[in-house]
Amino acid sequence: EKPADFGPLAANVFIDFVPRLDDKNAKVLQHAVSSLMRVVPVLGGSLDGACAELIPALAANLASKLAGVKKSSGDTISALAAHCGPAAVGAGMRQALQTGNPVVAEGLVPYLLEFARNEGMNNNSKLVAKHIVPAARQIAEDKRTQAACVPLCRELHAQLGEAMFSKKDDILRALV
């Protein structure tokens, strides 16, 4: 079938694929991440429905001790951000933060920053405010990940100005 015909089934197939992105066998894990990275550009937006499952699984690998797995997982997150719908990617990144640990949060900051910059260039400030500002707030609230969050907070402030702050955002103001 053509990738366009496969679209409605893509999310179901890749949700079933998620356990391979957490495989304890290093070779299986590396192959799974590399395989996913190769199909993302072809399937693109067909994977929107699976982003909420794929991105947290990939983000968990950002804490891996295996350099190849860590790099491939990051590259795959970037590919999903480039080829899938921004709302699906933003929601997937927020889900990754909610389920991940501080090491995952710190590893996800460069991808959140890249996503915020790209969506800012696309004049998609509502999406950035909806998904990335709360993610930055969550990262900034943890003392272990605060320093990593500074570039993200500065980028968000450059894009959104004072509108990014709510009354309870003293922590974000301090990092800008």
Q: Which pLDDT does position 130 carry in this prediction? A: 87
For 134-157, write each residue's pLDDT tens digit: 899 899 889 999 999 999 999 988
Q: Which pLDDT does position 1 carry in this prediction? A: 47
> At 50, which amino acid appears?
A
- In 3D space, the residue among 167, 160, 173, 89 whose CA is nearest the CA of residue 129 turns out to be 160
Q: Which pLDDT does position 25 carry in this prediction? A: 92
Q: Which pLDDT does position 102 carry in this prediction? A: 92
- In 3D space, the residue among 38, 43, 41, 42 whose CA is nearest the CA of residue 8 turns out to be 43
pLDDT tens digit at each of 176 positions of the chain = 445 555 566 667 777 788 899 999 999 999 999 999 999 998 888 889 889 999 999 999 999 999 999 999 999 999 999 999 999 999 999 999 998 899 999 999 999 999 998 887 778 888 888 889 889 989 988 999 999 999 999 998 888 888 777 766 677 777 77
